[in-house]
Chain A
Amino acid sequence: MIVLALPRGRVLDASVAFLAACGMQVPPEIHATRRLQLESGDGACRFILVKPVDVPTYVEYGVADAGICGTDVLWEQSPDVHQPLDLQFGRCRMVLAGKPGTPARSATRIATKYPRTAERFFRERGVAVEVIPLSGSVELAPALGLAELIIDLVETGNTLRDNGLVVIEEILQCSARLIINRASFHTRQQEIARLLDSMEKQLSW
């Protein structure tokens, strides 16, 4: 049996639909249940439901053999895992945003859920900024004067607009990725190969 870590929240429905399309017997109660561990109908797979930012941790430690997580999380955490496939759903953009016309200068304050990504993005451009880590409601920061700019995920752009912000630069195109533990790749070689085959067939790029 292989263990698959799935992200609760925004991407869960699409993940489950994709796994079902790949021929996995995902139990229907996965959406409704409060249980955080479920088994597939044929007993071939156990699903664990965790916070999206925690998926790489479970997979890196081998508690889960594989998992589904966003490119944004992978960029921020750089976990030491295999990342074979882009699953083509859960698409969004990571952007730098602020009030219209805000320049990114030295000592600009950036509020974000992605402090390492922010730090790297500005350093590569030779700009020393002050990164303010937040865990939610990042769009509030410019209005309240906590930061001039933010780095955050954007799907439709509505939340930005409602808070009087505009996209200044796109940083990253995000989507759901399959990640695999480095040891499991070999120690559960046949099961992992089957999983990859069924997913590649479904994606058929």
Chain B
Amino acid sequence: MLKARTLAPGVQYLKDPDSRIRRATADRLRETFSGWSYQELVLPILDYAQSFHLALGAGAEERMYSFVDRDGSLLALRPDITTLVAKAVAADSPANLPLRFWYGGEVFRYENPKAGQQREFYQAGIELIGSDSLDSEIEVLLILVEALQRCGLESIIIPLGHAEFFNGIVEALNLSEEAGWSLKNLVDHKDSWGIGRMISGLDIPPSKRDFIQELPRLAGGREILDRAEPMIQNPRSRQALERLAAIFEQLSALGAAQHFLIDLAEVRNLDYYTGLIFKVYSKSLGFEIGSGGRYDTLIGKFGNARPAVGFSVGLERLRVALSAEAPREDAVEKQADFQSALQLRRQNRKIRMEQTS
């Protein structure tokens, strides 16, 4: 078949200088992660499809490369690495918490290639497991900023949201499951007009109407928290606002606030995230470079429950956003005979053999 000569859809050959840029970027991330005492966790490239269903929820199967094992069980190439970290730590009962892990590797998602990201792409990230403290969130955000800065990314924009803000609103409005789902979909698209149409058909007091109408516009700087505060009565949403305010306060005190925004209308993956949610953008790219947040219920699905917070960054996206020049190569000494080549190699010098063909 001619397919033997054709590149399969969704994968790529990464050649120099792109491969060298990606390697250098991965090195900068690893240096940052180990600089904060995160340990590398190497995870399997495939697992039971069931694990990913459990973690990622309905709809995950459409985005997975799954196949049948010889014993008939359904396996999948990993569409996500956090799931595997959660599964790996759920079995242990470590004496000392929190645990700090970093990982880097290929993930596979059946999606259309966009912004340098094929169906096979490279993610690196960290997970801080066993703490639900404010400090654990600050730590993860500071590491994210440092890692991207070390890679040379100039514009770093990280909108912060909170899963409980929206959950609290849906609960307080006493919406049906279907109405809650519709509202979430509209908020996800920041569809003010659609929300206006939806709530005109619902039995909601006028005072709350204005606020729901306002939801998609609750994105911007720190001032958004103050704008939202008087509109919110339910305790879940209020706690979410207080938490975000505390995070912002600490980031300001540390001189890092300039990279952060607020987006209270961030509602993606609310089955997965339980608290802080964030995305990473840069002015140089129209797509998100990374994302993360707090996921306190995920590990419990696999065994011992433990709170956790983390993020992942897509290296292809990061490479496109950096549009970086390849790192300079060390000087090369051309060698014609192996005797002197070996001598130079013992001194750790870079050589290239001049082969006569």
Question: B189 in the interface, Cβ–Cβ < 8 Å?
Answer: yes
Set of chain B residues within 8 Å of A184, measured between Cβ atoms? 286
Please name all residues of chain A whose beta carbon is closer than 8 Å to the beta carbon of B281 when the two chains form the complex: 183, 186-187
A166 to B208, CA, bound (A): 44
State whether the Cβ of A84 lies closer than 8 Å to any Cβ in chain B: yes
Q: How far is the CA of A116 from the CA of B114 in the complex (A)?
A: 21
- Contacts A183-B285, A187-B281, A187-B283: A193 and B190 contacting too (C-beta < 8 A)? no
Known: A62-B285, A196-B217. A187 touches B155 (CB 8 A): yes
Q: A62-B285, A189-B219 are in contact. Are A82 and B190 (CB under 8 A)?
A: yes
Contacting residues, chain B, for A60 (C-beta < 8 A): 114, 286
> Which chain B positions have C-beta within 8 A of A186?
157, 159, 219, 261, 263, 279, 281
By size class, the interface of chain B is 20 to 34
| A81 contacts across to B, CB distance below 8 A | 189
Contact present for B157 and A187 (CB under 8 Å): yes
B191 contacts A by Cβ under 8 Å? yes
> What is the CA–CA distance of A83 and B113 in the complex, to the nearest angstrom?
22
Q: Is the CB of B286 within 8 A of A189?
A: no
Cross-chain contact A85 with B192 (CB below 8 angstroms) = yes
- Contact of A86 with B193 in the complex, beta carbons under 8 Å: yes
Please provide the chain A residues from 148 to 205 with a CB less than 8 Å away from any CB of chain B in the complex. 180-189, 193, 196, 200, 205
How many of chain A's residues have a CB under 8 angstroms from any CB in B?
24
Q: Are A84 and B159 in contact (CB under 8 A)?
A: no
Residue of B at shortest CB range from A193? Answer: B220
**Is B196 located at the chain interface by the 8 A CB criterion?**
yes
Asked if B193 contacts A205 (CB within 8 A), the reply is yes
B157-168 vs A, Cβ < 8 Å mask (1 yes, 0 no): 101000000000
Measured between C-beta atoms, what is the minimum distance from A16 to chain B in Å? Answer: 21
Q: How far is the CB of A22 from chain B (nearest CB, A)?
A: 15
> In the assembled complex, which residues on chain A have CB atoms less than 8 Å from the CB atom of B189?
81-84
State how many angstroms separate the Cβ of A82 from the closest Cβ of chain B: 4
> Does A63 interact with chain B (Cβ within 8 Å)?
yes
Chain A residue at minimum C-beta to C-beta distance from B261: A186
Residues of chain A with a CB closer than 8 A to B283's CB: 187-188
Minimal Cβ-Cβ distance residue in A for B158 = A186
Does B288 belong to the interface (CB within 8 Å)?
Answer: yes
B282 contacts partner chain A, Cβ-Cβ < 8 Å:
yes
Query: What's the least CB distance linking B31 to chain A, in Å?
Result: 27
Interface of chain A, helix or strand or loop or mixed?
mixed
Given A84-B216, A193-B220 in contact, is the A185-B287 Cβ separation under 8 Å? no
Whether a CB of chain A sits under 8 angstroms from the CB of B45 is no
- Given A186-B219, A189-B220 in contact, is the A62-B191 Cβ separation under 8 Å? no
Distance in angstroms from A6 CB to nearest chain B CB is 18
Interface: B115 (CB within 8 A): yes
Is A89 engaged at the interface, CB distance under 8 Å to the other chain? no
A84 partner residues in chain B, CB cutoff 8 A: 189-193, 216
Bound complex: CA A196 to CA B159 (Å): 19
Rounded to whole angstroms, the CA-CA distance of A196 and B220 in the bound complex is 13
Contact with A along B127-138 (1 / 0, CB 8 A): 000000000000
Chain A residues positioned under 8 Å from B219 (CB to CB): 185-186, 189
Which parts of B279-298 form the interface with A (CB within 8 Å)?
A: 279, 281-283, 285-288
Residues of chain B in range 232-288 having any CB-CB distance to chain A below 8 Å: 261, 263, 279, 281-283, 285-288
Of chain B, the residue at the smallest CB distance from A203 is B193
A residues within 8 A CB of B217?
193, 196
- Complexed CA–CA distance, A186 and B288 (Å): 11
Nearest chain A CB to B16 CB, angstrom units:
26
CB distance from B7 to the nearest CB of A (A): 22
Residue of B whose beta carbon sits closest to that of A86: B193
- Residues of B contacting A180 in the complex (Cβ-Cβ under 8 angstroms): 190
Interface residues of A in 77-115 (CB under 8 A from B): 81-86
Query: Complex: how many Å from CA A84 to CA B197?
Result: 12
Specify which of A189, A196, A200 is in contact with B261 (CB 8 Å cutoff). Answer: A189
Instruction: Among B192, B216, B220, B283, find the residue whose CB has the most chain A CB atoms closer than 10 A.
Output: B192
A88 to B284, CA, bound (A): 33
Interface residues of A in 11-63 (CB under 8 A from B): 60-63
Interface contact A61-B288, CB-CB below 8 Å: no
Query: Looking across the interface, which residue of chain A has its beta carbon closest to that of B283?
Result: A187
Q: In whole angstroms, how far apart are the Cα atoms of A94 and B191 in the complex?
A: 21
What 5 A-B pairs come out closest when comparing CB atoms? Answer: A62-B286, A82-B190, A86-B193, A183-B281, A187-B283
Query: Can you list 19 contacts pairing A with B, beta carbon distance less than 8 Å?
Result: A61-B114, A61-B287, A63-B286, A82-B191, A83-B190, A83-B191, A83-B194, A84-B190, A86-B193, A182-B286, A183-B282, A185-B190, A186-B219, A186-B263, A186-B281, A187-B282, A189-B221, A200-B192, A205-B193
Residues of B that sit less than 8 Å from A by CB: 114-115, 155, 157, 159, 189-194, 196, 216-217, 219-221, 261, 263, 279, 281-283, 285-288
Q: Please name 11 further chain A to chain B contacts, defined as beta carbons within 8 Å, in addition to the given A60-B114, A60-B286, sorted by A numbering.
A: A61-B114, A61-B286, A62-B287, A82-B191, A84-B216, A86-B194, A183-B287, A186-B219, A187-B157, A187-B282, A189-B261
